[in-house]
Structure 1
Amino acid sequence: MADLFVLSSQPPEHMLPSLALLSHQVRVVPPSTTGAAQAADADAIVVDGTVNLSMAKRLCGVLSSIDAGLPVLLVLVEGGLPAVTQEWGVTDVVLQGAGPAEVDTRIRLLQPQAQATEEPAGTIRVGHLSIDEQSYTARYRDRVLDLTYKEFELLRYLAAHPEHVFTRERLLSEVWGYDYYGGTRTVDVHVRRLRAKLGDHETVIGTVRNVGYRLLRSSNGDEGGTA
């Protein structure tokens, strides 16, 4: 499941009907340079070119100037295809009437983690989070996280089971061990510290209210609040 940033003046189900049938997380903002500047933390950016092709071209240029490596999917009607050139800087193009399977495949191939790269042994990668079990280092978007031993162990355990919800009791027994006599608030404290060290991306660790925590594949918010 990808975190998609959509630049469009219309609802996603009108811009690209198949998108509404898929499970990707979608954030929609008006097609403007201000909106484009907010897109850097998404897995992929979708630009609506079905209504205003000249605006779509300007937005693609802005995105390219922000980061030439940003994966950009341009949505077009068939009549707009001849206008698109390499100068637009888009990663891929999809027609508005494309089916769900095609749209899902194109989105999946846009994501860096979907590319055929071989990870070193002992590396856990979930979206933009990378954990090296051998050197005990964790990175988020290539930024090294300064973690204590238990913070690293907690993050590593959650990352090994992305999207799986763990109770505080389960995390306490798995990370701290059965012989640990501290209470479950220990887990809450360590989660808060991890979120603080993740900075703007603190919601990569989601809270499921009255249940526990899970590591999200994208940082699009948690499930029902934070601890």
Structure 2
Amino acid sequence: MTESLLLFPDPPPPELVRALDLSGYNWKAVSSGRPPEGRWLGAVIAVDDNPEDTFGFCRMLNRQAPDIPVLLLISGTHLDELDMRDDLYTDFCLTPFHQRELEARLIHLVRWSGTARHPELIKYGPLVLNLETYQASVSDRPLDLTYMEYELLKFLAGSPGKVFTRETLLNRVWGYDYFGGARTVDVHVRRLRAKLGEEHAGLITTVRSVGYRFGLSRWEQ
């Protein structure tokens, strides 16, 4: 279980699972009892509608594995439950959380444990691409992309501001052996814009008579 996060409870909240998968963290959820043997990056514990069970698990973890740093996920309505329990957790994050805040707190937690890990990401404004898990999100909203849609977005976002012709995109994304025409690129760009949503569709710009550009050119920034 090297370089994994321990989650409680089991099953963990779906939004936490999505966030951790997008950020590239390995994890294992447990329901109760002694934590599994192994080296852990830290523990992420969600305080639900039964705080006593949650803090009971924190106390057990504190006794059995005192070196594991603990991040509590807690709603504003349960904040008073933290009184006099400072010894049971390392940090806390309010729910519902934002992806970037959770990522920042996890980096802090992992650094505390001395085993920091940084997933390989492409970030541009509201867009985040995880190159390890092939996941993407915009404004913390997961994007449901096909393999080629992801590959095209990754290629464009990897060189923001640079204009690529349709022929270049066909060669670099689909490969030199692909016999499809330029319309293939247009169709995938149209689908990407639809999935990015009206607010973020402009991240991919059409350059008339040339091709496409992702993001702003250096003259527009």
One fold, TM greater than 0.5?
no
Give the TM-score of the pair, scaled to structure 2.
0.45
Give the TM-score normalised by the residue count of structure 1: 0.44
Larger radius of gyration: 2
